[in-house]
Amino acid sequence: MNKILFLMSWPFRQLPLPLSLFLAINTLTVAGFYFAYRNMERTYDSFKIREEENQQSLVNRLAHEVDLEMNHTFQVFENFASSISNALQLLGFESAYRNFTHRGTITQFMKRNPNVVSLVIRDILGRQYIENGQSDLQAADFADYLEKAAAESLNGHSYRSPILKAPQSATPVVLFSEPVRDSGGTLVASLTVIISLKPLVVDLLEFTPPNYQLFICDDTGRLIAHSRTAFRENAPSIFSPGSDFSNHPVVQFHIETKGRLSQVQSYHSLDQQPFIGCSAQSSFLPWMLGIEINRDIAFATVTTMKKSLHKWLIVTLIVSSLVALFLAHAIRMPLQQLLDGSMRVASQSFSEPIQLQSGNELGILARQFNKMQRSIQLYLDQIKEAALRQKETLLKAIYALVNAIDAKDPYTKGHSKRVSRFARFIALEMGQTGTLLERTELSALLHDIGKIGIDDNILKKPAQLTAEEYEVMKTHPEKGFKILGAIEDLQPITDGLRYHHENWGGDGYPRGLRGEAIPLQARIVAVADAFDAMTTNRPYQMAMSWEDAINRLNELSGIRFDPKVVGAITHAFYSGKLCEEDF
């Protein structure tokens, strides 16, 4: 330290004191700002990477929602085609038509599926039955494609049209057509439905967070919908459905790579506004979904802080220069204090102010330096708040995803949220707090996310699963791990969803782990999941009382479940912390 002080005294021994002081103080001030600026630059880069990851994750989720919805719609259509086929086989076209009219079969189907614009049945003699829904669109608006669909179906082929829209309407539609055969396999008719994609587009727009713009294009780059103008009157022509959007950088890149490569891009809009955006491809429809946000909005907090830091640097340099011109004595200790403060700023410690009790210029400089520290601390706090808002946005998307999972089966509605709450009580009882507790809750909330990849026929089956179906169902923990394991921020919660079906005795799945080889997070989720399953009505069982469920868990303690975890939920229940009236 003495050597450092000796070297620092060189200007005072060789140069005029005012100039020496000017150089010393301004050097320290600039150094402090430099390290603060470097720290802010690193924070900015980290913030930018996270924003890009979140944007790519968001557009992938939206594309996945499209595939889920359209797969469900197509399955409903195939099931209805099968029932129509049975009626035509038994009754013939005319009798079946009268039966449909008398019983209102098709009318009821249309009411249950409001996205069906029209339904057309045509037999091999050219006779046809047309039922139009409540939409302004009519089957006649798509006569050419109906003819093509009927021709394909009557030749024994399924048919799916490109994305269409009727004249004078912005609503996108798609045609599905299936051949109808009699019991001998002979073609007797074709069944065609016209599906409105407007409800799907509206849902996607509602899922899109504020400040983001969603646009949907077909495989040629033609615009289907844009969040700035979706289904609005007097929309700007460049954003109206049917417009050529292929020159948009995101769309252009998507077309060039044929959707096989997706990356976040930086570009300028037609009005020279800076944007970042990316895309994803629907596997069911010839759709490209793009998402973008104004770069100034996305990084507004950090950009404002950088500009403010520049202003503070200029102000502080001016103040420090004035102080240096008038200070010519008693310099060593104040300078040492300023040096210490600068080193603390360089080490990213902004909480300890400079303790310099003086009414002269050095005292003013010290106060300005402390003010700078507080400003930098405030800016860093704002960055943390911005990161927290990003986290909240991710959590909202997660809750939307959890609701989508639970909505697939009415018997499991609210299951994920209840399991998360039960897991919280258990974790608190076992002494978990802070980040560890939060991870356990989130892991429990998402423990069934892998069921997104399980066929609805298995997931919603009211009867007992076959051995083959059960093997498929057992893949949902690994499917969930693959979904969330790719997201770095969510990797600490994947143990719970991946291993919550492992048993304490070692006969669980997917890896047959035993005892404490099973992560604690998974052991907690397993007990919470089982407790909710026991206390809610399911197709295969009536709900137990909470006390009976606690007794059953204790019977399985040491066999299927961790005794410590079972002990924790038992204590929480009998101590009154875990109370049925609160759920």
Q: pLDDT tens across 259-300, in order?
A: 777 788 888 887 788 998 998 888 888 888 888 988 888 777
Q: Which domains does the chain have, with CATH numbers?
A: 2-50+303-384 (no CATH), 69-192 (3.30.450.20), 200-298 (3.30.450.20), 408-582 (1.10.3210.10)
Q: What does the alpha-carbon distance between residue 336 and residue 341 come to, in Å, rounded to a whole number? A: 9
Which residue type, as a one-letter code, is found at position 200? L
> Would you give the DSSP letter of residue 464?
P
Identify any residues that bridge with 289 across adjacent strands, giving them in sequence order: 216, 280
Please give the average per-residue pLDDT across 102-114, as a whole number. Answer: 77
User: CA-based Rg of the chain, rounded to a whole angstrom?
Assistant: 33
Lowest-confidence segment of 169-173, 255-259, 338-342, 477-481 by average pLDDT? 338-342
pLDDT in the model for residue 512: 93
Q: Chain-wide mean pLDDT for the chain? A: 80
For the record, the structure tokens of 533 come out as 């399953």
Per-residue buried b or exposed e for 518-549, using 16+ beta carbons within 10 Å of the residue's own CB:
bbbbbbbbbbbbbbbbbbbeeeeeeebebeeb
Whether 440 shows a pLDDT value over 80: the answer reads yes
DSSP string, 158-221: -EE---EE-TT---EEEEEEEEEE-TTS-EEEEEEEEEE-HHHHHHHHHHSPTTEEEEEEETTS
More confident: 327 or 367: 367
> Would you give the DSSP letter of residue 240?
S
Helix H or strand E segment including 130: strand 128-132
Q: By percentage, how much of the chain surpasses pLDDT 90?
A: 19
Lowest-confidence segment of 193-197, 245-249, 318-322, 457-461 by average pLDDT? 318-322
Helix H or strand E segment including 116: strand 116-123
Answer yes or no: are the C-beta atoms of 254 and 288 closer than 8 Å: yes
The phi-psi region of residue 104 (left if phi > 0; otherwise alpha if psi is between -120 and 50; otherwise beta) is left
Residue 58 sits at φ, ψ, to 5 deg, of: -65, -50
Q: What does the alpha-carbon distance between residue 275 and residue 228 come to, in Å, rounded to a whole number? A: 15
**pLDDT-based confidence at 435, cuts 50/70/90?**
very high
Cα dihedral 456, 460, 461, 462 in deg (nearest 10): -170
**pLDDT-based confidence at 16, cuts 50/70/90?**
low
**pLDDT-based confidence at 6, cuts 50/70/90?**
low
